[in-house]
Structure 1
Amino acid sequence: MAGGVIEMQHDFKWLKIFDEVGIEQLRKKSKILTQYLQCLIENEINQAASKFKIDILTPKDPKQRGAQLSLRIIGADARQIFNELERLGVCLDYRGDIIRVAPVPLYNSFMDAYRFVSVLKSLKL
């Protein structure tokens, strides 16, 4: 298979980082990063004069969720927002009328979460 060895080297790099950092630290960052993203959405989108609002369907308690936030868009076309975000290079998922986003602690930063919400706010709908 062409490229298989290179692709596996990439995987081994992440496994080494994962092993060095440890699951406890990754989970800790995951909880904080997801909470930060939730707060940004609530404050920068829902409490601001925004073109639309977002209902976060995922439980607010970090003990009851992983890194993913399931977002229902209110007052705008969720599919249109998803398509525009995807066109801009944001990795997310769309199911029904729900946009799912998950900041991954191994390679997403707090700045990535901030940029995500900034892009959401700047969409021309």
Structure 2
Amino acid sequence: MKIIFLLTKNISIKENKEITEINNICFEDVPDEDCKLDFVDVSLGKFIMYDNDTAIGSCGIHKRKSEFDGEEYILGGFGEVAILPRNRGNGYGKVLAEKAIKKLYEINCDVAITKIKLWLL
């Protein structure tokens, strides 16, 4: 198992195709309106999980400045956690979530949030 992290600006056409294919499979039953509501923040980067040379999962993170009660914070989050159906049940989603949280800490986010929906197929 190999996991890579790429800034959005450094994602190749091949990697973007892999992520798109994973998302199309994993979120095919999710109404378009729900996807638009869930994926509203600008992506900072993506994790891609590989089994040998085959992409089997992905997760995106974002980061932005926010203000609350007159103080500025760096707000980070992750979402789009997607594992291909044939690879589910092995804890891979948890691994990607942990990697995302660790990365948000490394890039100095003050607060990390996520909106996770569980879609059982």
Q: When the two structures are superposed, what TM-score results if normalisation uses the length of structure 1? A: 0.24
Q: Report the structure number with the largest CA radius of gyration.
A: 1
More strand by share: 2
More helix by share: 1
